[in-house]
Amino acid sequence: PYLLTESDYVHQDALSYPFEERGLQFGDGVYEVIRIYGGRFYQLHDHIDRLYRSAEAIKLEVPYEKAELLEKLATLLEKNSVTTDAKLYLQVTRGSAPRDHAFPVGVGANLYAYIADLTRKTEEMKHGVSVITHEDERWQNCYIKSLNLLPNVLAKQTAKEHGAYEAILHRGERVTECSSSNVFLVKDGSVYTHPETNQILHGCVRTRVRTFCQEAGIPFVEQSFTVEDLQDADELFLTSTTSEIVPIVKVDGSAVQDGKPGDLTQKLQRAYEADAQIEHVS
Ligand code: PMP
């Protein structure tokens, strides 16, 4: 397998970093995960635009111009003969330099992108998952897709230890998102989710769900809800590049309504399937 780096394509085994690397020592960098269906990227431009926004927010220069990066990623798919479902992971860090908190001077960013296998969350999408609620212990700039994921990692691990798929995060009473996905509440035919502020990652699938709702005439309300609201939700679901759209059927051990995936969630799942299909046939 080949990787794309800041200077060239290299064989996966040939990549090496000095131990003083800012991604490793400070989490000083940003990343993206992009879905590949049938050998084609899904929502590529949304992800790449977000990458440049994240990089700009931390004053980091991506080693390639946008058009050049898009071209390089297309070539990476070809070089690896990707024809099936997979994901691309890409990260940019502030480079390799002697350890010092302040930015190094005259040091270029490190970039690498690789393609990894992934299994579709078929069972989870079909039957739904259980989640826990967890205090959102992150910083104030969650719209930046930063490599600093420690609070997310700890929340996800707590969920796992409770036999749950995800952790719904809340700042005080207000639900923000999940540890690695966005969360939505359905009530009386409307879909509610946290607005695109600095408190959440502006998810690419979230954006798609907004479009699906608009197309289907389903009110999409960008308004936060509370932990208490979860109790009498008609439906709950989460979205992400790797999870797609997954129904939430249990919160902290209590069933959501009858404990089965809701109709509106399933409708959105079908819209997603059709959309992903369209993109990779075109
Ligand atoms: N929120 C967080 C904290 C995430 O890590 C992710 C996954 N990248 C998402 C939301 C969903 O974003 P996307 O739909 O772009 O994958």
ipTM: 0.99
Write out pLDDT tens, residues 98-131.
Answer: 999 999 999 999 999 999 999 999 999 999 999 9
Q: Is the CB of 21 under 6 A from ligand 1?
A: no
Predicted pLDDT at 282: 37
> What residue spans in the chain does CATH classification 3.20.10.10 cover?
122-281
Give me the CATH code for the 122-281 domain, please.
3.20.10.10
Closest by CA to 181, choosing from 236, 116, 234, is: 236
* Full-model pTM: 0.97
Best residue among 149, 201, 209, 241 to mutate for probing ligand 1, ranked by most atoms within 8 Å of CB = 201
> What residue spans in the chain does CATH classification 3.30.470.10 cover?
2-116
Question: What own/partner pairs with CB < 8 Å and gap ≥ 24 does 17-21 have?
Answer: 17/96, 17/110, 18/96, 20/96, 20/97, 20/98, 20/99, 21/93, 21/95, 21/96, 21/110
DSSP code at position 45: H
Place of tokens 């699938």: 205
CA of 98 to the centre of ligand 1 (A): 32
Q: Is the CB of 110 under 6 A from ligand 1?
A: no
Catalytic residue among 66, 126, 145, 187: 145
How many CA within 13 A on the CB side of residue 50? 24
Q: Is the CB of 54 under 6 A from ligand 1?
A: no
The domain made up of 2-116 has a fold known as: D-amino Acid Aminotransferase; Chain A, domain 1 (3.30.470)
Write out pLDDT tens, residues 249-279.
Answer: 999 999 999 999 999 999 999 999 999 975 4
Q: Is the CB of 199 under 6 A from ligand 1?
A: no
Best residue among 241, 245, 246, 268 to mutate for probing ligand 1, ranked by most atoms within 8 Å of CB = 241
Closest by CA to 272, choosing from 217, 216, 194, 190, is: 216
Please confirm, yes or no, whether 156 is among the known catalytic residues: no
Distance between CA atoms of 157 and 126, rounded to whole angstroms?
23
